[in-house]
Structure 1
Amino acid sequence: MLKLLKSLVSGARAEPPAPPTLVPAGQRVYAVGDIHGRLDLFEQMIGLIEADDAARSGQGVVKTTVILLGDLIDRGPDSAGVIDRARSWAQRRRVRILAGNHEEMFLGAFERDETLRHFLRHGGRETLLSYPIDPEDYARMTLEELRAAMPDFVPQADIAFLRGLEDQIRIGDYVFVHAGIRPGVALDEQVPGDMRWIRGEFIADRTPRDFAVVHGHTIVDEPELSPLRVGIDTGAYASGRLTAVGLEGAERWLLVAQDESAEAAA
């Protein structure tokens, strides 16, 4: 019996650890959580990423990719400004942007009254008022009138930009999506609706896989980093904290843009 117990213990200790999650050699990735119209925090985050990337550049030639995880818009005060800043930043460096469920609602609001109604209930009012529409005119409009007027004050360039956003990005052992993935479905068979909207089934899934999912969408008090997933939506529009994760090789680190007034209130 003693020999059997020693064998079992020895066997348990001999089990190899899970392999590290890796970014390919020569690459560095920054993923930024849900911005939700907080241009102030986004500007601060851009400065943090640029400074961090420059500080690490002395370690050798590295190709850096920035990924915005979606939900650039809604709820915060300056969605139009966030869209414009994201577009201009992408002209200066490699920035890839995922479509979130709020971008999906915004685009659908141009076509269907019911989607517009849903959009307005979830922060779309703030998005529309970040464009040059008179608040009094907005308040007087019926839903049908508002939808008809939207193309007059939302630039076509912004609509085209949002229609061109990505649904899924894979770099090394990391998969980047807005909300998550459907458990049990191959990556190349995932549907945009799940990747933009899924929550509970994905968060609760503990099925082993050979990649980690980096996502936003589900608000957490503190970033969640595990072998299976990295969740970094810290509720910027309400908390005043916008979080990003940096990834290189097997290393992970966090960057946080903080609203000083929110920090003082806490």
Structure 2
Amino acid sequence: MDMRDTVVYAIGDVHGCHKELLALEAKIELDAQRFSGRKIIIMLGDYIDRGPHSRRVIEHVMAPPPKGFQRVCLVGNHEVALLLYLDGYLSREPWLGYGARETLFSYGVDPDRLASLYGSNEQTDARIREAIPASHVDFLRTLPAMVCSEEFVFVHAGIRPGIALEAQDENDLLNIREEFFQAAHRLDRWVVHGHTIVDVPTLDGRRLDIDTGAFQTGRLTALRIVGKYGRLLSSQD
């Protein structure tokens, strides 16, 4: 991505927090009024699970972005877990342990009640899979795992040190932690990511984690980047 003459707003893990996303977007729109040029919102993944309104969040990010903005949605490990379940590669109980029960509630489905109504796992899973609109599934399948420019990388979890960006493994982009954290001072680009909850986003070497645990704290965080300068915005400010 060419970031010249561009204002970027990266938004951390939403996890079903629709109200907080709307509040943060309103602040982004207000903040962006002082800038000319292209304006892009980059969502860092994990739109679903844990929080109460996963369906609304998906519908929101599928809809057109705020006027005057472009929006890029990256995939997170929670979206991949949903797709793995829908495709039969992840069984229901491990998936529900990810926080997916709240996602199903948002689609009007109680998985425990379904399991009690249907004797077989196959019937229960079939009813659950029918509840997720095909348009939502198709949207999730299109999401990229990383966006990068000459100086910045935007990704859900991080990157594996010593591996060229084009050779990164998707599992690392969605799940990596310690190996990435330990290499923060050796990175050759600034990496903006989520995935690991922090109380306050703090620059560590050349990485910045902006996942402030919105589903627990009510604080959804964005990072505004203009040139080489950044500023944090919060849904609670």
Q: Do both share a fold (TM > 0.5)?
A: yes
Of residues 175, 200, 206, the one that matches 2:178 is 200
In the alignment, what sits opposite 1:103?
Answer: 79
Q: Is 2:95 the counterpart of 1:119?
A: yes
Change (3 A) 1:251 1:128: same
Correspondent of 2:107 among 107, 114, 131: 131
1:222-265 deviation digits (Å, cap 9, x = unpaired): 00224511110011111111111000012100110129xxxxxx
Q: Which has the higher helix share?
A: 1
Report if aligned partners of 1:117, 1:143 keep a CA contact under 8 Å in 2.
Answer: no
Provide the residue aligned with 2:222 in structure 1.
Answer: 244
Query: In terms of Rg, which structure is larger?
Result: 1
Which of 33, 36, 45 is 2:12 aligned to?
33
| Superposition misfits of 4+ residues, deviation over 6 angstroms | none
Q: Deviations over 1:164-194 (max 9, x none)?
A: 1111101341100100001111111001111
Asked whether 1:64 is paired with 2:43, we answer no
Q: TM-score, normalised by structure 1?
A: 0.82
CA–CA separation in structure 1 for the residues paired with 2:122 and 2:165:
39
From 40, 47, 52, the counterpart of 1:77: 52
2:139 match? 161
User: Which residue identity does 1:109 align to in structure 2?
Assistant: Y
1:40 counterpart SS class: helix
Is this contact kept in 1: 2:6–2:38, CA < 8 A?
yes
Tell me how far apart the structure 2 counterparts of residues 172 and 246 of structure 1 sit (CA, whole Å).
17
Distance 1:147 1:155 in 2: 15
Unaligned runs of 5+ in 1: 1-22, 260-266
Alignment partner of 1:211 is 2:189: yes
Is the 8 Å Cα contact of residues 242 and 257 (structure 1) preserved in structure 2?
Answer: yes
Q: CA distance change for structure 1 residues 212 and 115 in 2, over 3 Å: closer, same or farther?
A: farther
How big is the alpha-carbon RMSD for the aligned residues of Structure 1 and Structure 2?
A: 2.0
CA deviation profile, 1:86-115 (whole Å, cap 9, x unmatched): 111448531001110000000111122644
1:48 aligns with 2:27: yes
Count how many residue pairs are aligned between Structure 1 and Structure 2: 233
Distance 1:122 1:151, change over 3 A: closer
Q: In 2, distance between residues paired with 1:200 and 1:53?
A: 34
> In the alignment, is the contact (CA less than 8 A) between 2:159 and 2:176 conserved in 1?
yes
Tell me how far 1:27 sits from its aligned partner.
0.8
Question: 1:88 & 1:114 partners in 2: Cα distance?
Answer: 29
Normalized against structure 2, the TM-score is what?
A: 0.91
Deviation at 1:138, TM superposition (A): 3.2
Flag the 1:185–1:207 CA change in 2: closer, same or farther, 3 A.
farther
Amino acid at match of 2:99: G
> Counterpart of 2:124 in 1: which secondary structure?
helix
Query: Which residue does the alignment assign to 2:130?
Result: 152
Q: CA-to-partner distance for each residue in 1:26-84, whole Å, 9 max, x for gaps?
A: 11100000000011101111111111112x23xxx311111000000000001000000
Q: Identity rate of aligned residues, in percent?
A: 40
Q: Secondary structure at the match of 1:81?
A: helix
